[in-house]
């Protein structure tokens, strides 16, 4: 029995249960304890999950928690449930998501009444797909798997070339060239290779991966299969966060359907290739979205970041060459490899080709998702596509790319959405979740929210982030005016940015610094430096 299964049977084990699990698994008690303390789903009692993510915070989600607690519910905070367009959100113990208050509306899992999901996505330009379907028959009618047979007649080398011509960059945040990653994996010797779809999507403000997994799972399966063929991988895993129970269910069902129809686990491409995959459910850890932590988590370890190199393409899951790609990246693959590489490259900008699905939270006049070509300015997206602030409320700024992204004030909205141009301007696009920050927002609450997020979610592997996250909160709590707090905070932020092992510690200070720079006066109004 593996440790994960044993712990899932006994969430929140006491000392006796830890001893028994250690005995059954043959692991030291300290290892079992280390596991339990790392994953929120194992460490905390079963409870209603109330979203305390940025979008829900700004939408007044505190009231929801108070109301549920008044009604006698045990509540647990989670940082995002993937319904940021309808904040505030909470999830009952059966996994149904409820939105807004009052009245609270249960999403029964049959329909999404007001989200513009992919089936009805408003496409401004550069449409890649005609909407999706969870059901295989309907997905086939929409063209999923239609090009598979002929594409698998081409050689893996041809597919790698096509991926390179498309110029596609990963959509998970780092914007790494997908062809380079695939070539590296294909070129690393190994008896077995893996493809992992990263469906951890922890950034408050992003929900495209959830919607793709729930509404278009077969396109993701097709993308993973094609990736497997191109790099020589026969096995795949879709890693899905536990906060997305419906995505876990829908993806699992789609995999079974694809298996039953002989798309998976049967010889393809003239018999020389077969591919199969499974779903792995996360256990409540933001950092498990980072690829090396994600792999560690699948391997049955604490989800801590590993020092790289070696990269997963060289030494990935169980030491084998592994491609880890974001769900949206993989959903773009069928379009590119079924002959669309040039058409894909023609969309977007010189440096960033293709399209991106941008998510807008409830703070905008038109919340939801929109697929746009790269190149459109942030201003067009914010003011024209999303319609500016909800109910005409003026916006002070927009948070782009989650807590590791950027706080972007309106003087910088004329930048084009292009990974290259935005990086040059110091803006991290991340997964392109946009969260509106209205003029009358509580900026101090936002600052404290990000600090608490750092404390709760740091994996603890490296010293600058492990100590810096709590140190930053202490620096704020020590009181005083703006100058005093900034003097205490700045060295901590600097060490985190310079010395942290992964983007979490390196990028988390950025939005907080932006908040202090632009809204410090309001945060510290009336506080002196003594
Ligand atoms: C703290 C942290 C969290 C991350 N979370 C995610 C995530 O939820 N989803 C994701 O696709 N990538 C996430 N990433 C990026 C992954 O490490 C990796 O770069 C990505 O999955 C690669 O896919 P891509 O090349 O298709 O972008 C995260 C990175 C860090 C540092
Ligand atoms: S920066 Fe933070 S999240 Fe990343 S490895 Fe270090 S402790 Fe872990
Ligand atoms: S659902 Fe609350 S921040 Fe995403």
Q: Could you report the per-residue pLDDT of 164-222, keeping only the tens digit for each?
A: 999 999 999 999 999 999 999 999 999 999 999 999 999 999 999 998 999 899 999 99
8 Å CB contact between 437 and 58 = yes
pLDDT value at residue 104: 55
Domain topology for 48-106: Glutaredoxin (3.40.30)
As a residue count, the chain comes to: 530
Identify how many contiguous H helices and E strands the chain contains and give both numbers. 23, 15
pLDDT value at residue 109: 42
Q: Which bound ligand lies closest to the C-alpha atom of 203?
A: 1
- Residue closest via CA to ligand 3's atom 3 equals 53
The residues, any chain, with a CB within 8 Å of residue 354's CB and separated by 6 or more, are 126, 128, 166, 167, 168, 332, 344, 345, 347, 348, 373, 374
pLDDT value at residue 81: 95
- Residue closest via CA to ligand 2's atom 4 equals 502
Distance CA 186, CA 231 (A): 4
Q: Find out whether the beta carbon of 501 lies less than 6 Å from any atom of ligand 2.
A: yes
Confidence of residue 35 (pLDDT cuts 50, 70, 90): confident
pLDDT value at residue 488: 96
pLDDT value at residue 286: 95
The CA 371 to ligand 3 mean position distance, Å, reads 20
By DSSP bridging, strand 322-326 and strand 355-360 are unpaired
Q: Which bound ligand lies closest to the C-alpha atom of 502?
A: 2
Q: Find out whether the beta carbon of 460 lies less than 6 Å from any atom of ligand 2.
A: yes
Q: Find out whether the beta carbon of 165 lies less than 6 Å from any atom of ligand 2.
A: no
pLDDT tens for 350-398 read 999 999 999 999 999 999 888 888 999 999 999 999 999 999 999 999 9
- Residue closest via CA to ligand 1's atom 16 equals 290
The residues, any chain, with a CB within 8 Å of residue 510's CB and separated by 6 or more, are 404, 405, 406, 407, 428, 497
pLDDT value at residue 95: 87
Treating both helix axes as pointing N-terminal to C-terminal, what angle do 509-523 and 482-499 enclose, rounded to 10 degrees? 180
The CA 116 to ligand 3 mean position distance, Å, reads 16
Q: Find out whether the beta carbon of 56 lies less than 6 Å from any atom of ligand 3.
A: yes
Q: Find out whether the beta carbon of 461 lies less than 6 Å from any atom of ligand 2.
A: yes
- Residue closest via CA to ligand 2's atom 7 equals 460
Q: Is the pLDDT of residue 67 over 90?
A: no
Selected from 1.20.1440.230, 1.10.3720.10, 3.40.50.300, 3.30.300.30, the CATH number assigned to the domain covering 443-523 reads 1.20.1440.230
pLDDT value at residue 371: 87
Distance CA 56, CA 309 (A): 37
Indicate which atom in ligand 1 lies nearest the CA of residue 507.
Answer: 31
Q: Which of 48, 55, 63, 403 to mutate to test the pocket of ligand 3 (most atoms within 8 A of CB)?
A: 55
Q: Find out whether the beta carbon of 250 lies less than 6 Å from any atom of ligand 3.
A: no
- Residue closest via CA to ligand 2's atom 8 equals 459
Selected from 3.40.605.10, 3.30.565.10, 3.30.1330.10, 3.40.50.11540, the CATH number assigned to the domain covering 123-346 reads 3.40.50.11540
Q: Find out whether the beta carbon of 58 lies less than 6 Å from any atom of ligand 3.
A: no
Give how far the C-alpha of residue 504 lies from the chain's centroid of Cα atoms, to the nearest Å.
Answer: 13
The CA 14 to ligand 1 mean position distance, Å, reads 33
Predicted structure pTM score: 0.94
Q: Which bound ligand lies closest to the C-alpha atom of 457?
A: 2
Q: Is the pLDDT of residue 307 over 70?
A: yes
pLDDT tens for 117-171 read 333 343 333 345 556 788 999 999 989 999 999 999 999 999 999 999 999 999 9
pLDDT value at residue 342: 95
Q: Is the pLDDT of residue 107 over 80?
A: no
Q: Where are the domains of the chain?
A: 3-38, 48-106, 123-346, 355-438, 443-523
pLDDT value at residue 105: 56
Q: Find out whether the beta carbon of 283 lies less than 6 Å from any atom of ligand 2.
A: no
Taking the CA atoms of 358, 363, 366 and 367 in sequence, report the sign of the dihedral they define: positive
Indicate the class that CATH gives domain 355-438: alpha beta
Q: Find out whether the beta carbon of 399 lies less than 6 Å from any atom of ligand 3.
A: no
- Residue closest via CA to ligand 1's atom 6 equals 289
């Amino acid at each position: 029995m593996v440790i994960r299964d044993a712990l899932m049977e006994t969430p929140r084990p006491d000392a006796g249960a830890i001893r028994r699990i250690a005995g059954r698994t043959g692991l030291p008690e300290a290892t079992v304890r280390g596991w339990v303390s790392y994953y929120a789903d194992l460490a905390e009692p079963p409870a209603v999950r109330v979203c305390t993510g940025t979008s829900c915070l700004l939408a007044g989600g505190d009231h929801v928690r108070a109301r549920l607690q008044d009604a006698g519910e045990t509540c647990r905070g989670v940082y995002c449930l993937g319904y940021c367009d309808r904040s505030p959100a909470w999830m009952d113990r059966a996994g149904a998501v409820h939105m807004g208050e009052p009245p609270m509306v249960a999403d029964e899992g049959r329909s999404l009444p007001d989200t513009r999901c992919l089936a009805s996505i408003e496409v401004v330009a550069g449409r890649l797909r005609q909407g999706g379907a969870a059901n295989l028959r309907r997905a086939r009618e929409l063209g999923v798997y239609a090009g598979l047979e002929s594409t698998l007649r081409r050689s893996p080398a041809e597919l790698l070339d096509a991926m390179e011509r498309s110029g596609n960059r990963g959509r998970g945040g780092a914007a790494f060239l997908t062809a380079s990653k695939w070539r590296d994996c294909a070129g690393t010797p190994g008896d077995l290779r893996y493809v992992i779809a990263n469906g951890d999507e922890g950034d408050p403000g992003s929900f495209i991966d959830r919607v793709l997994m729930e509404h278009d799972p077969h396109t993701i399966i097709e993308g993973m299969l094609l990736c497997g063929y191109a790099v020589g991988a026969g096995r795949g895993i879709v890693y899905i966060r536990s906060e997305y129970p419906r995505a876990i269910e829908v993806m699992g069902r789609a995999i079974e359907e694809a298996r039953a129809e002989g798309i998976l686990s049967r010889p393809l491409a003239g018999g020389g290739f077969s591919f199969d995959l499974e779903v792995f459910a996360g256990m409540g850890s933001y950092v498990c979205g980072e690829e090396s932590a994600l792999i560690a988590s699948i391997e049955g370890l604490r989800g801590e970041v590993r020092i790289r190199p070696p990269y997963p393409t060289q030494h990935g899951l169980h030491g084998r060459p592994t491609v880890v790609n974001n769900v949206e990246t993989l959903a773009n693959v069928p379009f590119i490899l079924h002959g669309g590489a040039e058409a894909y490259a023609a969309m977007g900008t010189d440096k960033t080709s293709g399209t991106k699905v941008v998510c807008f939270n409830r703070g905008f006049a038109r919340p939801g998702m929109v697929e746009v070509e790269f190149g459109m300015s942030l201003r067009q997206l914010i003011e024209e596509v999303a319609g500016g602030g909800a109910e005409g409320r003026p916006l002070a700024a927009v948070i782009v790319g989650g807590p590791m992204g950027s706080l972007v004030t309106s003087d910088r909205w004329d930048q084009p959405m292009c990974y290259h141009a935005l990086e040059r301007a110091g803006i991290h696009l991340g997964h392109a979740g946009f969260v509106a920050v209205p003029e009358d927002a509580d900026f101090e609450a936002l600052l404290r929210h990000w600090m608490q997020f750092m404390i709760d979610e740091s994996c603890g592997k490296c010293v600058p982030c492990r100590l810096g996250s709590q140190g930053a909160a202490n620096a704020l709590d020590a009181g005083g005016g703006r100058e005093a707090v900034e003097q205490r905070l700045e060295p901590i932020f600097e060490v985190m940015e310079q010395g942290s092992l992964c983007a979490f510690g390196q990028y988390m200070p950025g939005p907080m610094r932006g908040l202090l720079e632009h809204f410090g006066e309001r945060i510290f109004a009336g506080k002196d430096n003594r």
